[in-house]
A and B are shown apart, each in its own frame.
Chain A
Amino acid sequence: MRTIFYLIRKEFLQIFRNKFISKAIFAVPVLQMLILVPAVTFELKNVKIAIVDKDMTSESRGLISKLDGSTFFRVSYLIFSENEANNLLHRNKCSMVIQIPSGFGKDIGTGKQGKLLATIDAVNASSAELSWAYLNGVILDYNTDLIKQNISTLPLGPVSRIEINNRYWYNELLNYKYYMLPGILVILVTAIGFLLAGLNMVREKEIGTIEQINVTPVRKYHFIIAKMVPFLLIGLIDLALGLIIGKIAFDIPFEGSILVMFLGSTIFLVAVLGLALFISTFSGTQQQYMFVAFFCMVIFILMSGIFTPYESMPMWAQDFNMINPVAYLMRINRMVMLKGSTIQDISRELYSLILIAVVFTTLAVRRYRKTA
């Protein structure tokens, strides 16, 4: 056991003597939180629309002001040529073209159906759908206004409707920052776990110091543990730093227990560090290591459900996520922070992470060879 202590001390001395790394490990969480949390959002605001108003009646103008008045849309162009409007869409000057045909106002006035054509830029399919949904919302609103105004002239009396009241739980204001912040914290610890320890190990190979270690009677698992512990602690410190920034800068709610979240992150870090050190055992150079580790990291993060809901992925992707530690921590962080989930609620995730951690660490120890 004493050997581990000597080895860990050596790692810390080296980390804090490295001017760049010792600063970067504190700067990275600050920058990542301050830049990514507000930047990464699905919220749709101020979608630029071009309107071809061939009607020019009070009804068409009413609709236009209704659209412009909503926070989702901004009427950027009011033109009369359909071609020009499509051209604007093509050049990315707007994301939606709405055509109001002549006779729109007359149709409404005479109780017929008014017709509109909306052309939406669907390069990004999900934001196109969202725009369409918002547009429907605004039109529905406009419709209701029309009905209210003309209630006396309408042939039928008011139609009884089902009214739905909805309430959003766990994130009442639908604040995307609240949703993204726990995920960004996961990315933070993932990057630390994946990159630092593995590179450190490969660097020892490159400069040859590992040879001097390998010729000593040091135990393999001592050496691997000594490479894990410092980066595990750095990961947890960065997590704490990230949480503090989240509280101060974004006033993020924290419903659950901080301890549970740290427990999850600790197990997660062991898993990721184990995988990183495993990769390092068959990388001869830092370049090789970076290539493989980066590849794994990107796949793990993109499949983890940070941007796209985990449950709507295809079955094979959900199966893959059984071995994806990032997916587990993504759920743990969001559940604990937003829902206030307890250790029992996330026990399935915790057990899975423990299993992954044990497997990867064992692989790393077994694959690390003191003899060629």
Chain B
Amino acid sequence: MEKVQEKVIIAHDLVKKFGTFVANDNLNFEVYAGEIFGFLGANGAGKTTTIRILSGLSKPTSGEVKVAGFDAYHQTEQIKKNIGYMCQKFSLYEDLTVKENIVLYGGIYGMSRTLISERLRELLEKLHFEEYENRMISDLPLGLRQKLAFSVAILHNPKIVFLDEPTGGVDPITRRQFWESIYETASRGITVFVTTHYMDEAEYCDRISIMSDGKIVALDTPAELKKQYNSKSIDEVFIKIARPATQGSPPLGGLGGRN
């Protein structure tokens, strides 16, 4: 697939420290428009920290970070206009219906009333969600909730969407469907930045980076990485390079980094 080589994310010597703990240690990577960028790493490798910085929820300690052309230190609100975000913890309002959640987020992103209802129709149709329109989120099974959360994350047609372990705890069929919608999203020109544990999913990405102990230890296309590490699968590559974990577990609460 021909990619337009416009860089939508630039991270140059990105460092994030929580006290003395270095969660992101001099990260260097670029993400191109329209690609599916896999962000791999063991638990505690620092993926969530990076994704929070890129989506304007957390500020880097040092280094140059640009997302959609905006600076991650001072232009977080402009970044937020241009991105979608779906985190590991499900975060739509469970006590609102499918429709109410969509209308709310459409409204927050400043979409017009007609555009919101248009998108709502499209979305319900695409997900075969018509019967769920007025159902409370808390009544939906996890797989459906995740699909919906993803749809909400791209409701406003962002330049980039960040998915932090979007398929955690979801059955294989739903995971497959989920990846189909990721492809479909990327084909619309939305850059997908996705973290995952599942190494089979990594194979679906255009390029992947593997993180270990806060550092990026590998970054290339899945095919190239397999060749380089003489492995049959990404799973094997991952085991070969992500094994030597030296820094140990981060301090509790360090990675979440909530205010």
List A residues at the B interface (Cβ < 8 Å): 2-3, 5-7, 9-10, 13-14, 17-18, 205, 207-209, 211-218, 281, 284, 369-372
A-B contact pairs, 26 of them (CB 8 A): A2-B107, A3-B107, A3-B108, A5-B107, A7-B107, A10-B93, A10-B104, A207-B91, A207-B94, A208-B91, A211-B89, A213-B108, A214-B57, A215-B55, A215-B56, A215-B83, A215-B85, A217-B109, A218-B108, A281-B259, A284-B258, A369-B259, A370-B77, A371-B57, A371-B76, A372-B258
List the A side residues contacting B100 at CB < 8 Å.
Answer: 10, 13
Alpha-carbon gap, A207 to B90, bound state (A): 9
Q: Count of chain B residues with Cβ under 8 Å from any Cβ of A? A: 34
B124 within 8 A of A: no
* Min C-beta distance of B71 to chain A, whole Å: 13
* Min C-beta distance of B171 to chain A, whole Å: 23
Main secondary structure of the interface of A (DSSP, over half): helix
Whether A372 pairs with B257 at a CB distance below 8 angstroms is yes
Whether B93 pairs with A372 at a CB distance below 8 angstroms is no
With both beta carbons as reference points, the residue of chain A lying nearest to B258 in the complex is identified as A372
List the B side residues contacting A281 at CB < 8 Å.
Answer: 259
Specify which of B85, B106, B110, B258 is in contact with A212 (CB 8 Å cutoff): B85
B95 within 8 A of A: yes
Whether A13 pairs with B89 at a CB distance below 8 angstroms is no
Whether A370 pairs with B92 at a CB distance below 8 angstroms is no
List the A side residues contacting B59 at CB < 8 Å.
Answer: 371-372
Encoded as 1 (CB less than 8 Å from any A CB) or 0, chain B from 76 to 99 comes to 111011010101011111111000
Known A-B contacts A6-B108, A10-B104, A215-B83; the reply to A209 vs B92 at CB < 8 A is: yes
* Min C-beta distance of A105 to chain B, whole Å: 78
List the A side residues contacting B159 at CB < 8 Å.
Answer: none
Whether B87 pairs with A211 at a CB distance below 8 angstroms is yes
Specify which of A13, A213, A214 is in contact with B96 (CB 8 Å cutoff): A13
* Min C-beta distance of B103 to chain A, whole Å: 7
With both beta carbons as reference points, the residue of chain B lying nearest to A369 in the complex is identified as B259
Whether B76 pairs with A370 at a CB distance below 8 angstroms is yes
Alpha-carbon gap, A6 to B113, bound state (A): 11
B28 within 8 A of A: no
B157 within 8 A of A: no
Interface centre among A6, A211, A371, A372 (most CB of B within 10 A): A371
With both beta carbons as reference points, the residue of chain A lying nearest to B93 in the complex is identified as A209
List the B side residues contacting A2 at CB < 8 Å.
Answer: 107, 110
List the B side residues contacting A208 at CB < 8 Å.
Answer: 87, 89-91
* Min C-beta distance of A206 to chain B, whole Å: 10
List the A side residues contacting B57 at CB < 8 Å.
Answer: 211, 214-215, 370-372
B105 within 8 A of A: yes
